[in-house]
Amino acid sequence: MKREYIAELPEGMLPTAAIFSALGDPVRQRILMLFEPGEALSIKDIAELFALSRTAVVHHLIVLERAGILAQRRAGKATLYSLRPEVVLEAVTAVRDYILEEFPGAAGGK
């Protein structure tokens, strides 16, 4: 048993934990799947596609933004969000690298 991680995660894994926590909600996963590469969507664009209140959509967008998964910018009165896929990829890669390092047989499906 590895006891060194009982107290806290290694410093490099903290952003990864926030990203996976944000991705743990199916609505947030569906929101991310709306984006085309390089596309920016408004709160209105997203809210119209879900049977959720604008307030609920804003809550989900804030969680994704705080995790670094979405970037926000203002365009006049609208708030636009764009996907930062590199952030998700870095988190997945960090977990993958940890698994491969700590469990060498995992790559072979054993």
- Domain boundaries, given as residue ranges, for the chain: 11-100
pLDDT single digits (tens) 9-56: 777 777 888 999 999 999 999 999 999 999 999 999 999 999 899 999
Question: pTM of the full predicted structure?
Answer: 0.84
Side chain identity, residue 2? K
pLDDT single digits (tens) 52-101: 999 999 999 999 999 999 999 999 999 999 999 999 999 999 889 888 88
* Of residues 32, 36, 57, 62, the one with CA closest to residue 47: 57
| CATH code for the domain defined by 11-100 | 1.10.10.10
Reported as half-sphere exposure (CB side, CA atoms, 13 A), residue 68 has a value of: 14
